[in-house]
């Protein structure tokens, strides 16, 4: 029997003994204060002033440490806000309770009621007069739960991670704070929050491989949504001129430090606006988040110093490829044969059937993306890789589209919307041709969406912001798994 199994067996024996005397899982404990509130209000008060006040409090939390000495002992319990110390004396709680207290284990959930006082070392504590075991912990908490060797356990058993790893818990508190701020920011600009279907009969809204499922009663094959885009744009047809949704998307793709099969996006659509308006709004939002979450516009991510006080850079994809490729000019990036020649000379592999825009995007991924450290809006995306974006009025080979990169990560994607139903129908047909040629990420033809456009969609702009990658940025997290409470894991 392993040491852990021995400890579990001992704890089960204690639980069995409790069951013979009472309900082992009672539910009648109510706290009067959280630990953080007690510390905020009373830490600054000296012992001589605090002790005579006989301030009675009731606290409850998980026991993280215990020190016993003769007829007394200390226990530190942890609630959602932080730690508070209990001082337990035999003459304060009685012999039976004190005897039980000495047998309790780390991880047990404990209730204590008593008066506040300060110890000789000036630590705020509760001198308990009532002490009860609320929940027996059957599994011992790990003594060391940090470092790469425990990464998989941290992700797989997030509940344990949150108990013992303060930094991990703080990440998810920041995440909640960020989402709340984003929601208020959008509502203050008169955007209406909506909910659209998570199961689609036709996958669309992004070029990505969908998950499939089946509706038994209707005998229908359905797809978990890869993006809410086409439904949100239907709402702009219906007269909702400013809408947003914060919700999950599902893409049947690989798992990496930047990718999880399900992830959270904020998508929003804005009638009578264009992609320049989106870039302005996005920059305002990100600066607002920096101020709200970090309290500064200058902060670091994975060793990179970022400055959100400066205007975000805006530059075309072709000019960036020319800047970082060492050999291609911006004019070369508008010539398929010259780019192919460059790839042949540099030993860059590519598909001979790729069109100009597809090869340009490949060169961008290869040479540019990792170099975009400061916030950069990459603009003028090729038509071939932008099936839902509006063509540029002056150059029909590019679209009024951008992606925002920070520290080499794509954080947002936005564009002026294509609202020409005939142009959209032709692009859907090209996507279907790609699908039939073996591209399992290509879109399907959505006849109802074309019908919606035929009723008339106002000129609009729309954007998706990756919430998970945004949280990574503001919490200095290296992996997307660090900011997902329950990331995808292979079975044990």
Q: Which residues define the annotated binding site? A: 403, 410
Instruction: Give the torsion through C-alpha atoms of 364, 367, 373, 375, to 10 deg.
Output: -20
Task: Quote the CA–CA distance of 277 and 90 in Å, as a whole number.
Answer: 69
Task: Quote the CA–CA distance of 40 and 24 in Å, as a whole number.
Answer: 34
Q: How far is CA 327 from each of CA 145, 332, 340, 355, 356, rounded to the nearest angstrom?
A: 49, 9, 13, 20, 17
Task: Quote the CA–CA distance of 15 and 22 in Å, as a whole number.
Answer: 10
Task: Quote the CA–CA distance of 134 and 58 in Å, as a whole number.
Answer: 13
Tokens for 287?
């600066």
Encode 473-488 in three state secondary structure.
HHHCCCCHHHHCCCCC
Task: Quote the CA–CA distance of 251 and 244 in Å, as a whole number.
Answer: 20
Task: Quote the CA–CA distance of 240 and 269 in Å, as a whole number.
Answer: 9
Whether the Cβ atoms of residue 414 and residue 275 lie closer than 8 Å to each other: yes
Whether the Cβ atoms of residue 253 and residue 209 lie closer than 8 Å to each other: yes
Q: What residue numbers does the annotated binding site for Mg(2+) cover?
A: 403, 410
Q: Is 45 exposed, middle or buried (0-12, 13-18, 19+ CB in 10 A)?
A: middle
Quick one: which of 305, 260, 314 has its CA closest to 282? 314
Task: Quote the CA–CA distance of 413 and 393 in Å, as a whole number.
Answer: 20
Quick one: which of 14, 20, 12 has its CA closest to 100? 14
Task: Quote the CA–CA distance of 122 and 124 in Å, as a whole number.
Answer: 6
Quick one: which of 201, 202, 204, 210 has its CA closest to 233? 204
Task: Quote the CA–CA distance of 77 and 133 in Å, as a whole number.
Answer: 12
Strands 212-215 and 199-200: unpaired
Phi, psi of 478 (to 5 degrees): -80, -25
Task: Quote the CA–CA distance of 446 and 429 in Å, as a whole number.
Answer: 10
What SS3 state is found at 52? helix
């Amino acid at each position: 029997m392993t040491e852990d199994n021995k400890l579990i067996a001992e704890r089960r024996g204690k639980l069995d003994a409790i069951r013979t005397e009472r309900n082992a899982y009672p539910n009648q404990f109510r706290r009067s204060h959280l630990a953080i509130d007690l510390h905020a209000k009373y830490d600054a008060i000296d012992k001589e002033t605090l002790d005579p006040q006989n301030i009675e409090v009731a606290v409850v939390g998980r026991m993280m440490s215990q020190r016993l000495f003769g007829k007394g002992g200390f226990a530190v319990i942890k609630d959602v806000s932080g730690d508070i110390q209990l001082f337990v004396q035999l003459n304060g709680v009685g012999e039976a309770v004190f005897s039980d207290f000495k047998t309790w284990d780390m991880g047990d959930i404990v209730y204590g009621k008593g008066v506040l006082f300060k110890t000789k070392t000036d630590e705020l504590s509760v001198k308990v007069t009532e002490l009860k075991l609320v929940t027996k912990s059957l599994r011992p908490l790990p003594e060391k739960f940090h470092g790469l060797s425990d990464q998989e356990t941290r992700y797989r058993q997030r509940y344990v991670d949150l108990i013992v790893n303060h930094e991990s818990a703080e990440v998810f508190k920041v995440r909640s704070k960020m989402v709340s701020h984003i929601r208020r920011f959008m509502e203050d600009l008169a955007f209406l929050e909506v909910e659209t279907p998570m199961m689609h009969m036709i996958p669309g809204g992004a070029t990505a491989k969908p998950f499939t499922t089946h509706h038994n009663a209707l005998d229908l094959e359905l797809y978990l949504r890869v993006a809410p885009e086409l439904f949100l744009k239907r709402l702009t047809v219906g007269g909702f001129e400013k809408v947003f949704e914060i919700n999950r998307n599902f893409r049947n793709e690989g798992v990496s430090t930047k990718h999880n099969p399900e992830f959270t996006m904020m998508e929003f659509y804005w009638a009578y606006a264009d992609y320049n308006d989106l870039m302005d709004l996005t920059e305002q939002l990100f600066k607002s988040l920096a101020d709200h979450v970090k309290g500064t516009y200058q902060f670091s991510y994975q060793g990179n110093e970022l400055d959100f006080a400066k205007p975000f850079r805006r530059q075309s994809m072709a000019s960036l490829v020319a800047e970082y490729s060492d050999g291609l000019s911006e004019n070369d990036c508008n010539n398929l044969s010259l780019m192919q020649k460059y790839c042949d000379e540099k030993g860059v592999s590519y598909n001979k059937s790729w069109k100009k825009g597809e090869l340009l995007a490949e060169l961008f991924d290869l040479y540019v993306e990792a170099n975009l450290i400061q916030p950069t809006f990459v603009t003028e995306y090729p038509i071939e890789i932008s099936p839902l974006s509006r063509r540029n009025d002056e150059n029909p080979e590019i679209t009024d589209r951008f992606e925002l990169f920070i520290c080499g990560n794509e954080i947002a994607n936005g564009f002026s919307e294509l609202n020409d139903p005939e142009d959209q129908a032709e692009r859907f047909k090209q996507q279907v041709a790609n699908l039939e040629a073996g591209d399992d990420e290509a879109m399907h033809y959505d006849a109802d969406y074309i019908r919606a456009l035929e009723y008339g969609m106002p000129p609009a702009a729309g954007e998706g912001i990756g919430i998970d990658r945004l949280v990574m940025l503001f919490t200095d997290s290296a992996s997307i798994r660090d900011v997902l409470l329950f990331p995808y894991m292979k079975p044990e």
